[in-house]
Structure formats: C-alpha cells, structure tokens
Amino acid sequence: MKIAFYGTKPYDRIWFEPMGKEYGFDIHFIEAACNRETIFMAKGYDAICIFVNDYVDAEMINALYEMSVKAILLRSAGYNNVDVKAAEDKIIIMRVPSYSPEAVAEFSMALLLTVNRLTHKAYNRTRDFNMSLNGLMGMDLYEKTAGVIGTGKIGQAMIRILNGFQMHVLCYDPFPVEGLEAEYVSLEEIFKYSDVITLHCPLTSDTKHIINKETIAKMKNGVFLINTSRGALIDTEALIEAMLQNKFGGVGLDVYEEEEGVFYEDRSGDIVKDDNLARLLTFPNVLVTSHMGFFTREAMQAIALTTLENAYALENGLPLVNQVGREADLQ
C-alpha cells in the first residue's frame, strides 16, 4: 500500500517510518497540511493519512475518489475535520479511537494545577531572582467540586485523577457509563455547582459552543475551565467577554477553534493576526498550549501502531474495526 502522509513533523517519522517498513508500506511523508491546495499530491496513492488540523471536505472527497484513493487514515480519535457523509460509498475512513487516554487526562490536570497555582509565573519570576509571592495565590482542590463533561475513556481517566485529589466529581454524558466514581447530573447542574469544569467530549453539532454566553452565565464566579478536546467546544468571543468581567479563576486551553495553520507551527517571527487568540494570550490567568495533550511517547507509539494496523486490515481484507460510519456521530 502506498500512503501519502500529510502534515509530517520530525516526531511523526520516529514511529511511522520504522513501523511502515515492518508492514511493507510505501509511505511518502509530506510536510504540507492536507487542504484543497495540496490534495492533488495524493494522486497515485492508495490512502492518505491526516491529523487533527488537516481537513477533507466534500470537494476533496470527490477529488480523492477520482484519483482512486481508497482510504483516509486518521491518526486521531476525532473526525470532525472530514466530511463523513460525502465519503459514504466512495472512500473508507478509519480512525484511532483510543491511544493513551491517560496522556490527555494527565495533561488536563497539569493545566488545572498550573492555572490554579500559577507555577508557570513562579518559574519565570524565580529565574529573574524575584521570590515574591504576590499574585501567586491559588486554592485547594481538596473537597472542591469538579464537573467532567464527557465520560469516554479520557473523561474516565480524568475522573480517576480528580478522585485522587479527593474532589467531589460530577459528570455529564448522554451515554452514561456504569461503575464510575462520579455522580451523573444534568449540564445545568455541572455549570451551577462546579468549581472546575473540564471538557472531554467530541465536537459534534450538539457540542459545538457548549460553552457559550448563556452557559457561562450559569457558572460560579471564579470557576476554572479546562479544554483539551476540541477548540470549537468553546465560543471564544463569549469566553473573552467573560474574562473581561473576571468570571473565571483560570482557564487552560490546549485547543482553540481557529488553531488550523497556527498550532504545530513555529510562528514566533510572525505578527499574530488572530485578534481573539492575541487577546486570550494577554490574560494573566489564561494558559494556552499548542494541542499537545496527547504528546507522550506511549501515545505516539499507539497512534502509529493503530493507524498502520488500520491500513493493514484494509489491504488484506480484514474486518475494519475502526471504520468511521455515518451512524457514529457520538463516540
């Protein structure tokens, strides 16, 4: 199988290059992102492999189909960046439903601890030999209430971590999981009672802007908000408006709804043209990271393994257990 691997970074090659050879695949690594301008580069390949900030719309699906590309291999769990309906009966889409939920959950907790205890600011101060504690006061997480939205594998891992801090954990998911050490409640109750809200749900038509002006108004003053899932779960303009009103104690964002073309790239020499992102970066109690919650050795190895196993199953007529279907809107 010949695979066009879009959006290649040096760390992708560490795992995919040797594993690809073991499977006997011909992988062509392309640095450019997958978009309308670069889709022509898939000609002559059996499959393309894309990541979260690539996209494949209906027009591109048709182009791939005309080029006889058989599959889109997602090296991610989410697939909101692919027009699944347009691909039906044309191109097979496969994803990595789970790699290391602990990696994302642990990073979510790291964001919470950082924006609460301001360790990033303390680090910068002490490097300048400023040992003042002014402005660095946080709160105990012990016996506070945490609201977890989404109880898939990552949400479940986050619940285990929050329980370790002896927090009272509330959770919401339209598809409850039995046996969790958390109390399922309504979204209204999550927003009303939580001292910390952490997002672990996929981006769908139902969850887009689940954090908006109305839901923010229902939250406690001083609430902490963490998002390591998808940027568009939060209405950025509503978040900024609330930040100006001192609504949040702290916000940790590993994702951003307009991150395409910015995250995963070195833009340090560029002027920030996104006014909302520039504004977010000015708030002293907002921490933005570049969609790195998944980025551990274990997760990267698992992503590569599952992605290539998906390709192997397709090539050899085996069951496509990770195929995305139009009926699977919520996973």
**Catalytic residue list:** 230, 259, 291
Q: Is the dihedral of CA 49, 9, 31, 258 positive or negative?
A: positive
Task: Indicate the DSSP class of residue 99.
Answer: S
According to DSSP, the residues that pair with 26 across neighbouring strands are 2
Q: How far is CA 69 from the centre of its chain?
A: 27
CA triplet 309, 314, 315: central angle to 5 degrees? 95
Strand partners, 29: 5
Residues in contact with 227: Cβ distance below 8 Å, sequence separation at least 6, in sequence order: 198, 199, 211, 233, 234, 252, 253, 254, 255
What is the length of the chain?
331
132 token code pair: 């003042």
Are 158 and 113 a contacting pair, CB within 8 Å?
no
What contacts 139, CB < 8 A, 6 or more positions away?
A: 116, 195, 249
CA distance 279 to 275: 6
Question: What is the SS3 assignment for 35-90?
Answer: CCCCHHHHCCCCEEEECCCCCECHHHHHHHHHCCCCEEEECCCCCCCECHHHHCCC
In DSSP notation, 218-269 reads: TSPTTEEEEE-S-GGGB-HHHHHHHHHTT-EEEEEES--TT-TTTTTS--TT
